[in-house]
Amino acid sequence: MKLDTKLIHGGVFGDEHTGAVSVPIYQVSTYKQKRAGEHAGYEYSRTDNPTRAALEQLIAELENGEAGLAFASGMAAISAVLSCFNQGDHLVVGDDVYGGTYRVIAKVFQRLGIRATFVDTSDFRQVEAAILPETRAIYMETPSNPLLKVSDIRKIAQLAKAHGLLLIVDNTFMTPYWQNPLDLGADIVVHSATKYLGGHSDVVAGLVVTGKKVLGEELHFLQNSIGGILGPQDSWLLMRGIKTLGLRMKQHEQNARQIAKWLEEQKEVKVVYYPGLITHPGHETARSQARGFGGIISFDVGSEKLADQVLEKTCYFTLAESLGAVESLISVPARMTHASIPAERRAELGITDGLIRISVGVEDVEDLIMDLEQALR
Ligand SMILES: *Cc1c(COP(=O)(O)O)cnc(C)c1O
């Protein structure tokens, strides 16, 4: 089955009892048992719920994995994955991961005795050099947020394998439509489904997929034990969003490519970060491991003042956190998504006060370019 068909026919199609073409919302917490302990596959909705199960099967198929799991947010999904590790374990983590991921690792899991070293995973030697005898996993995003740095999934997966480590990839920016980390050797994929998978700024959710049966069982155990599950209504909304993932991703990308090229030609813009540009240092790696470059662009206008002007004057780019929805969004990472990273660390990373990140929506690209032009001038 080709990907665009899988988006519609993958997972569970409709309802076999009634013929409904959409999976029903099973708004239920518990299930009647025939005899004590004998049930029809479902006993309590924290453990399993048919609507959530349909979504979990769908995302597992889209990522070419064995097991999918749905959580109440991307952070709940990431926290469940991090709960696989024990006191004394060490992780190698990308140094420009999502601010909330940095925060949960540095301020919650480190407190529980799980140590981490943050490195630039787009530089293979840094990843290799950070591995200690206690290292258990490498955790990364590619492309990363907000500088769109590209890490070589295949190469890092081989390194992880050689050292007996798990490779965990946050695939939020690419989605399974453009990139499948499990096919490239990763062990676990995580998603903030709040972004492209949902796609309409109306649901907060997280997904995890693994290609290994044993890991799937462990993650289901953690999902059930910790309990941060996605409810049936939101599971249904996500499945609805995923049906149009292909249509949306193609439009996001087409618009983003044009806008990135245009931004490169503007004298006010110092740097444009977009992996689809041949001038981007990660362009070749991105091409070798993904089918597209996505819809996120960051660009540096050199000063906080000009950044503020752009934020204030654009009319089609809504000033908001988040990304990946049909409407275009604009943000300044230093003061928004990445504010939880200490200022001096931000400066080291290149997340300057003039850095603007846009999530290009599916509007007419001419309107978007005109809007950016008047805001810059
Ligand atoms: C938003 C985001 C998260 C966190 O997901 P929530 O759904 O907001 O909890 C994790 N990783 C990336 C790359 C994100 O963009």
One digit per residue, pLDDT tens: the chain, 377 residues?
A: 999 999 999 999 999 999 999 999 999 999 999 999 899 899 999 999 999 999 999 999 999 999 999 999 999 999 999 999 999 999 999 988 888 999 999 999 999 999 999 999 999 999 999 999 999 999 999 999 889 999 999 999 999 999 999 999 999 999 999 999 999 999 999 999 999 999 999 999 999 999 999 999 999 999 999 999 999 999 999 999 999 999 999 999 999 999 999 999 999 999 999 999 999 999 999 999 999 999 999 999 999 999 999 999 999 999 998 899 999 999 999 888 888 778 888 888 788 999 999 999 999 999 999 999 999 99
Give the C-alpha separation, 94 to 115, whole Å.
14
CATH 3.40.640.10 segments of the chain: 3-243
> Measuring CA to CA, which residue among 136, 44, 53 is closest to residue 90?
136
Bridge partner residues of 138 (DSSP): 92, 167
In angstroms, what is the span from residue 98 Cα to ligand 1's centroid?
A: 7
Bridge partner residues of 229 (DSSP): 71
Residue identifier of the C-alpha nearest atom 9 of ligand 1: 74
DSSP string, 13-73: -S-TTT--SS------SB---SBTTB-SS-SBTTT--HHHHHHHHHHHHHTT-SEEEEESS
Strands 188-192 and 318-319: unpaired
- The alpha carbon torsion through 151, 154, 160, 164 (nearest 10 deg) reads 160
What pLDDT was estimated at residue 348? 82
Q: Would you call 46 a catalytic residue per the annotation? A: yes
CATH 3.90.1150.10 segments of the chain: 246-376
Q: Would you call 170 a catalytic residue per the annotation? A: yes
Tokens of 369: 């370019």
Q: Would you call 213 a catalytic residue per the annotation? A: no
**Reported CATH class of domain 246-376:** alpha beta
> Measuring CA to CA, which residue among 175, 151, 173, 147 is closest to residue 93?
151
Q: How far apart are the first and last CA of the chain?
A: 48
Amino acid (1-letter code) at residue 134: E
Tokens of 171: 């695939």
Residue 363, C-beta contacts closer than 8 angstroms, at least 6 positions apart: 255, 316, 327, 328
Tokens of 28: 């239920």
Q: Would you call 195 a catalytic residue per the annotation? A: yes
Helix (H) / strand (E) element for 135: namely strand 135-141
Give the C-alpha separation, 132 to 121, whole Å.
16
Candidate from 71, 149, 172 with most ligand 1 atoms within 8 A of CB, to mutate: 172
The catalytic residue among 15, 31, 46, 240 is: 46
In the CATH scheme, what is the code of domain 3-243?
Answer: 3.40.640.10
What pLDDT was estimated at residue 251? 98
What pLDDT was estimated at residue 343? 82
Give the C-alpha separation, 275 to 266, whole Å.
18
Ligand 1 pocket: which residues have CB below 6 Å? Answer: 73-75, 98, 100-101, 141, 145, 170, 172, 192, 194-195, 204, 206
Instruction: Give the neighbor-by-neighbor strand order of the sheet with 329-331.
Output: 271-273, 296-300, 355-359, 329-331, 318-319
- Measured between alpha carbons, how far is residue 299 from residues 99, 101, 345, 368, 372 in Å? 18, 23, 19, 15, 12
**Counting atoms of ligand 1 from 1, which one is nearest the CA of 193?**
7
The catalytic residue among 95, 96, 170, 300 is: 170
> Measuring CA to CA, which residue among 30, 32, 12 is closest to residue 22?
12
Give the C-alpha separation, 11 to 23, whole Å.
10
**Counting atoms of ligand 1 from 1, which one is nearest the CA of 100?**
4
Residue identifier of the C-alpha nearest atom 7 of ligand 1: 74
